[in-house]
């Protein structure tokens, strides 16, 4: 597993803006988080304010809230100036997820939570990546030790994706606004996001149908009028966590030094789509939203990221699966909210305006 090395240093420190809608420390951590996954953070909207010049929040050497244990990182608004970590210990992208508490890891205060409105559609992840995401260097958490070194999906378009058909179907259905798709749309989603299947032998469609029929996680629902042949397929809510766990167990091939465009990772455009769905919810976030947030995380950073979540997050996810989502204050609620935030969706986006 190739270590993640930064190719450039951070940009020079500049005068920070007078006021940012949330602590620079947090913005830096978000930027650093995205940056160290080998991608670029180019634009972020917080509380309605667009931050597109991360030079402004760079450095932090003059910031009181700077965590001096971490080197400054500039997530430039311009493409390609993303400074991948050159500090193995400090810039492991998800290292702060290792903390016992997600919130403690990113040092989110309650006020941070309330001020933070991050819609993932506004967190643009560049498609070009200089370095593979760094999950490979994240030590496995005590709860679910990862036997295979976690690394992002990095498979050539012409090789088979590292996901089982059930996971592919799961992702396809999850990405749908109605969380239900006819089999034809599932084919289309898979082809769109995993071009390998464009030219793969036709047998894979049979496998998809076979999987839909055989896998208890998928349910057929009444076809919508005018749908034509076939039915809509949905994910059984009771088996959602099973799929998520299966997703997290997917074997991940070693990262290769390939252009991202040739990799077989899901299209990043998928995430804003899911995020919008989450954000559109009128009611306060519930089990579905938290599980969807976990799904977004897994899709964003690779399935191994689920193994990097602290026990609290798994507790939330498992409780969601059992429909026990009573986050009456305390760690669990904050962890649940942090799941949404990590996925790029503020819990407050759900609140009725």
Partner DNA sequence: GACTGAGTAAACACTT
Partner DNA sequence: CAAGTGTTTACTCAGT
Q: How many chain residues are in contact with DNA, going by CB under 7 A?
A: 30
- Closest among 309, 281, 318, 325 to 119, alpha carbons compared: 281
Nearer to DNA, 87 or 192 (CB): 192
Structure-block tokens of residue 143: 């709860």
Decide: helix, strand or coil at residue 302: coil
Contact 186, 192 (CB under 8 A): no
Contact 302, 133 (CB under 8 A): yes
Q: DSSP alpha helices (H): ranges in the chain?
A: 24-36, 102-106, 110-115, 165-175, 183-193, 203-214, 240-248, 270-280, 287-301, 305-308, 311-321, 330-342
Q: For the segment 220-279, give every residue that binds DNA (CB under 7 A).
A: 220, 223, 228-231, 233, 246
The stretch near DNA (CB under 7 A) out of 41-49, 115-123, 158-166, 265-273 is 158-166
- Work out how close the CB of 186 gets to DNA at its nearest, in angstroms, rounded to a whole number: 8
- Quick check: 147 binds DNA (CB under 7 A)? yes
Tell me how far apart the alpha carbons of residues 134 and 130 are, in angstroms, rounded to a whole number: 12
- Work out how close the CB of 189 gets to DNA at its nearest, in angstroms, rounded to a whole number: 13
Decide: helix, strand or coil at residue 56: helix
- Work out how close the CB of 203 gets to DNA at its nearest, in angstroms, rounded to a whole number: 2
Nearer to DNA, 218 or 327 (CB): 218
* Max intra-chain CA distance, the chain: 63
- Quick check: 145 binds DNA (CB under 7 A)? no
Q: For the segment 159-198, give every residue that binds DNA (CB under 7 A).
A: 160, 163-166, 182-184, 187
Beta bridge pairs of residue 41: 125
Nearer to DNA, 183 or 296 (CB): 183
- Work out how close the CB of 206 gets to DNA at its nearest, in angstroms, rounded to a whole number: 5
- Work out how close the CB of 218 gets to DNA at its nearest, in angstroms, rounded to a whole number: 8
Nearer to DNA, 187 or 273 (CB): 187
The stretch near DNA (CB under 7 A) out of 22-30, 58-66, 208-216, 285-293 is 208-216
Contact 40, 79 (CB under 8 A): yes
- Work out how close the CB of 231 gets to DNA at its nearest, in angstroms, rounded to a whole number: 4
- Work out how close the CB of 262 gets to DNA at its nearest, in angstroms, rounded to a whole number: 20
Among 48, 145, 201, 329, which residue sits at the site for DNA (rule: CB under 7 A)?
201
Number of residues in the chain: 353
- Quick check: 209 binds DNA (CB under 7 A)? yes
Query: What's the alpha-carbon Rg for the chain, to the nearest Å?
Result: 20
Q: What angle do CA 244, 248, 250 make, to 5 degrees?
A: 115
The stretch near DNA (CB under 7 A) out of 90-98, 121-129, 204-212, 276-284 is 204-212
287-301 and 330-342 helices, crossing angle to 10° = 50
> What are the residues binding DNA (CB under 7 A)?
147, 160, 163-166, 182-184, 187, 201, 203-207, 209-214, 220, 223, 228-231, 233, 246
């Amino acid at each position: 597993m190739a270590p993640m090395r930064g190719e450039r240093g951070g940009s020079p420190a500049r005068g920070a803006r007078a006021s940012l809608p949330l602590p620079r420390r947090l913005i830096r951590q978000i930027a650093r988080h995205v940056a160290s996954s080998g991608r670029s953070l180019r634009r972020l909207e917080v509380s309605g304010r667009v931050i597109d010049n991360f030079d402004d929040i760079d450095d932090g050497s003059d910031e009181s809230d700077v965590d001096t244990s971490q080197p400054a990182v500039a997530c430039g608004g311009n493409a390609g100036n993303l400074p991948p970590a050159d500090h193995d210990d400090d810039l492991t992208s998800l290292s702060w997820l290792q903390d016992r508490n997600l919130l403690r890891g990113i040092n989110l205060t309650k006020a941070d939570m309330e001020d933070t409105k991050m819609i993932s559609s506004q967190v643009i992840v560049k498609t070009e990546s200089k370095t593979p995401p760094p999950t490979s260097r994240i030590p496995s958490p005590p709860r679910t030790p990862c036997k295979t070194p976690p690394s992002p999906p990095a498979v050539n378009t012409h090789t088979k994706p590292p996901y089982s058909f059930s996971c592919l179907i799961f992702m396809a259905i999850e990405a749908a606004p109605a969380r239900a798709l006819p089999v034809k749309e599932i084919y289309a989603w898979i082809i769109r996001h995993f071009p390998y299947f464009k030219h793969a032998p036709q047998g894979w469609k049979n496998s998809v149908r076979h999987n839909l029929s055989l896998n208890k996680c998928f349910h057929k629902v009444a076809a919508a009028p005018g749908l034509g042949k076939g039915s809509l397929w949905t994910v059984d809510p009771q088996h959602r966590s099973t799929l998520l766990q299966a997703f997290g167990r997917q074997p991940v091939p070693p990262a290769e030094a390939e252009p991202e465009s040739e990799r077989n990772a899901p299209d990043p455009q998928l995430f804003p789509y899911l995020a919008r769905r989450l954000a559109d919810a009128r009611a306060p976030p519930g089990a579905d939203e938290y599980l969807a947030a976990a799904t977004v995380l897994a899709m964003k950073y690779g399935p191994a990221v689920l193994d990097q979540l602290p026990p609290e997050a798994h507790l939330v996810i498992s409780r969601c699966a059992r429909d026990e989502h009573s986050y009456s204050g305390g760690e669990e609620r904050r962890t649940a909210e942090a799941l949404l935030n990590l996925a790029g969706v503020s819990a407050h986006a759900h609140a009725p305006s």
